[in-house]
Chain A
């Protein structure tokens, strides 16, 4: 009897939290390794179309993004605009942009660069065709129509 009393007096011992930092660090490292920083601040509204026959983009370091959609700030109207890097761009800026992106990579990697077109689904084809033509002119032939993974 006295033994039981003894135990209840002591109460449960505090759980050691010494390993908590280790656990958190482990999670932290996981996220640090898997993370890809958000590329740019979007200045255009892009709702991607859905498609079922999609491929994954393999090497994110070798992907450049072109955004096309109506501008976020309404003062610029509703006509779709092109965004390269962090700013709005005109059609004739695509050529220099492609060249700049090629130059900052190693020569062997240049043919493997994919240009991913993130285009709003309500955009008319005219601007997309123009952009594609510009890409052809600057010999950036590998492109990807970015889509959301849709149902079959």
Chain B
């Protein structure tokens, strides 16, 4: 008996059903798979501030006030507005093309100034004896180093004041859809400005820059310095304090 088997070798396994089994598995994965990638508007919420210090007075010109009421109507800077015009409005707020009095004043940042300030704060940091002082100077130094980096890439540029912020407030019965549309328009305004700047300086749109390449990562940071995205909700005062 044993001998016989050895001679003939083990009988071949029929692999004909292999395809069926594989098909079954394939269909299972086809059904359970979700191909659509999850997309959405990314936002950072402001952290809750424990100690309530008296809010710093923010100049009215530095706030772009967007209110959405319960009936999904927009009130922008005290004027009713259609959502179609919101993008242009937000862009005007961030660029202030006519140096208007009631829009934020953009200050010119020059290379000389940056170098001067970086040198100043370097020496302050080196000389500082108090730990908290040193930390503050260090922060200032980093801020100016960032600016210097941006100037190197972009040339002299105009900077939005740190207090400039788009404040978005909604009623309790505003629809979520309207809220997302408003967020979308504000996002689009920033994106368009960044795209334009990036295209002009680097010949490539901001959205096409990838943060994997080192030099493009610097470009992204520089463009962000010029057009920061500051949308605040609920408590605009807290956010501006954090920014400063």
Interface residues of chain A, those whose CB is within 8 Å of chain B, are: 17-18, 20-21, 24-25, 27-28, 31-32, 34-38, 49, 51-57, 60, 63, 114, 116-117, 119-126, 128-129, 132-133, 135-137, 139-149
Contact = CB atoms under 8 A, between A and B. Distances in A.
Interface in B15-39: 15, 18-19, 22-23, 25-26, 29-30, 32-35, 37-39
B26 A53 contact: no
A133 B39 CA distance: 22
Pairs of residues from A and B, 6 with the lowest C-beta to C-beta distance, nearest first: A121-B177, A31-B29, A126-B172, A53-B187, A24-B22, A146-B40
Given A32-B29, A139-B47, A57 B37 contact: yes
A37 to B, nearest CB: 6
B32 A54 contact: no
Contacts of A21: 15, 18-19, 22
A51 B19 CA distance: 43
A129 B234 contact: yes
Interface stretch (B56-64, B91-99, B148-156, B178-186): B178-186
Contacts of B42: 55, 114, 142-144
B180 A145 contact: yes
A33 B32 CA distance: 12
A143 to B, nearest CB: 5
A54 B173 contact: no
For chain B, give the interface size range. Answer: 35 or more
A28 to B, nearest CB: 5
Contacts of B170: 125, 129
Nearest to B17: A21
Main SS class of interface, A? mixed
Contact of B34 (A38, A137, A148): A38
A123 B40 contact: no
Interface in B32-83: 32-35, 37-48
11 contacts: A21-B15, A21-B18, A24-B23, A32-B29, A34-B35, A37-B32, A49-B181, A51-B183, A51-B184, A124-B174, A142-B45
B221 interface: no
A128 B176 contact: yes
B234 to A, nearest CB: 7
Given A24-B19, A53-B184, A142-B44, A147 B39 contact: yes
Contacts of B38: 56-57, 60, 63, 116, 144, 146
Given A21-B18, A56-B37, A149-B39, A135 B45 contact: yes
B183 A125 contact: no
B188 interface: yes
B171 interface: yes
